[in-house]
A and B are shown apart, each in its own frame.
Chain A
Amino acid sequence: KQEVTQIPAALSVPEGENLVLNCSFTDSAIYNLQWFRQDPGKGLTSLLLIQSSQREQTSGRLNASLDKSSGRSTLYIAASQPGDSATYLCAVRPGSGGYQKVTFGTGTKLQVIP
């Protein structure tokens, strides 16, 4: 059974700092991995999607990397802003690509202090 862990559970940083969020998974046979942000009481907003054959994806100030062999993905946020404050979730789709079996991580709650 795939288990996905995100450490730390909460993180507080001053504005302007670069930061890294971690996502670890136990089964390296994945199809892809997707990073989301969630504002309180809201839905999930997709940030980046990395296929199993890719090593990284970039969008603006965000960069996500994937190391399947070590069961890790990181989300790098450059020059953090108060608007980046949210909970960040990673979601892992298994190697079979099945619709049913995506596993979500436990989330990291980020607070960026002005």
Chain B
Amino acid sequence: DTEVTQTPKHLVMGMTNKKSLKCEQHMGHRAMYWYKQKAKKPPELMFVYSYEKLSINESVPSRFSPECPNSSLLNLHLHALQPEDSALYLCASSQGPENGYTFGSGTRLTVV
């Protein structure tokens, strides 16, 4: 298995909803990432989980919270989002810096 699987592919949620995005990989990669990508912009790093340690981009608001239940799964919990949070959310993993990234197909999130 050489893929990063993201679910769901599309999500529409209201500003008062709570939802979660799921990311899974079975390549034994030691680091997993969440990125946010707005239209016509490069991806922006939100969170990194590597060696059981979470690193956070300090500009990410607290309405986004990551969770790593095990080394193969990385969830992103969403609560009280704003319309400007609508974007493509990408998950990636890597075995190590020398191996580069493997990305999932993304979740298209729309906040209404």
Contacts and interface: CB of A to CB of B under 8 A. Distances in A.
Contacts of B106: 41-43
Contacts of B43: 44, 104
Given A42-B106, A100-B55, A104-B43, A51 B90 contact: no
Interface stretch (B69-77, B78-86, B92-100): B92-100
Given A32-B97, A99-B94, A104-B42, A41 B103 contact: no
Contacts, number: 58
Contact of B97 (A31, A36, A46, A89): A31
A68 interface: no
A51 B33 CA distance: 21
A79 B88 CA distance: 31
B97 A34 contact: no
A54 to B, nearest CB: 11
Contacts of A36: 103
A32 B100 contact: yes
B4 to A, nearest CB: 8
B31 A34 contact: no
Interface residues of B, number: 27
Q: On chain A, which size bracket covers the interface? A: 20 to 34
29 contacts: A32-B97, A34-B101, A41-B106, A42-B105, A42-B106, A43-B6, A43-B90, A43-B103, A43-B104, A43-B105, A44-B43, A44-B101, A44-B103, A46-B100, A46-B101, A46-B103, A49-B99, A49-B100, A97-B97, A99-B31, A99-B48, A100-B45, A100-B48, A102-B45, A104-B42, A104-B43, A106-B42, A107-B40, A107-B42
Interface of A: 31-32, 34, 36, 41-46, 49, 51, 89, 91, 93, 97-100, 102, 104-107
Interface of B: 4, 6, 31, 33, 40-43, 45, 48, 50, 55, 88, 90, 92, 94, 97-106, 108
